[in-house]
Structure 1
């Protein structure tokens, strides 16, 4: 009986040390949405989204992906990824990235478009 009581008291003490979750902490992050909803990129290949040169997401036609990121600069690069569809093999591509400066509490939406130098990001309206 003593062991059970000591265990419950110890568990309650451990729970008291854990800080409570708070919705206020969401203001410390920025939301980055990258959309491929329009048919501006006429390929069935998936597009890889690289954040600071690390593959962070994959976007297919008519999809979008979002990231909760800390405020500050982030380098975003888009790349066609090899996949199941024919013609999606790796090839020579533009290695340039777009530097975005994110601010705390801000929602940023960009759409993927095909530009003069390959895939690029264009600012988009949030739509709500």
Structure 2
């Protein structure tokens, strides 16, 4: 009985040395919706959405898309993509990106608009 008790104490002591395995808490994502539903951009060209300088989406008129993104900063750049419609050829355009800081669990909607300096995102109401 003494050996069994001693073995049990040794086992309990050893188990306190081993780190407990635990699953990491899931990261809450934010949702960024980008819409071209309104006719604010007077072109039939396809618009490319670049997140952190990578083409991640394409929008035609009256379309929208959404992205599940981790919290933090994201750079968004919009540009007209070359296509078969007249006037959609590559040219010199503004390469300026907009920086957004996203929070975990946030759902935010933007619509594409155009100014003298090019395409940009304008915050919009979620509408639901």
Per the TM superposition, whether the score is higher than 0.5 is yes
Q: Which has the larger radius of gyration?
A: 2
| Displacement of 1:86 | 1.5
Q: Counterparts in 2 of 1:78-93, with a 5 A limit?
A: 78-93=78-93
Map of 1:109 onto structure 2: 109
Indicate the SS of the match to 1:84.
Answer: coil
User: How many angstroms apart in 2 are the aligned matches of 1:84 and 1:105?
Assistant: 39
Give the unaligned 5+ runs of structure 2: 1-22
What TM-score comes out, normalization by structure 2 length?
Answer: 0.79
User: How many angstroms apart in 1 are the aligned matches of 2:88 and 2:48?
Assistant: 12
| Displacement of 1:60 | 0.4
Map of 1:124 onto structure 2: 124
Runs of 4+ in 1 over 4 A off after TM superposition: none
* Alpha-carbon displacement from aligned partner over 1:24-74 (angstroms, at most 9, x marks no partner): 94x610000000000000100000000000000001000001100000000
Which protein is richer in helix relative to its size? 1
| Displacement of 1:87 | 1.2
Question: How many residues are matched?
Answer: 105
Indicate the SS of the match to 1:32.
Answer: strand
Give the unaligned 5+ runs of structure 1: 1-18
Map of 1:29 onto structure 2: 29
Map of 1:96 onto structure 2: 96
User: How many angstroms apart in 2 are the aligned matches of 1:89 and 1:102?
Assistant: 33
Map of 2:14 onto structure 1: none
User: How many angstroms apart in 2 are the aligned matches of 1:46 and 1:66?
Assistant: 17
Indicate the SS of the match to 2:43.
Answer: coil
Indicate the SS of the match to 1:28.
Answer: coil
What TM-score comes out, normalization by structure 1 length?
Answer: 0.79
1:52 aligned to 2:52? yes
* Alpha-carbon displacement from aligned partner over 1:99-124 (angstroms, at most 9, x marks no partner): 00000000010000011211011000
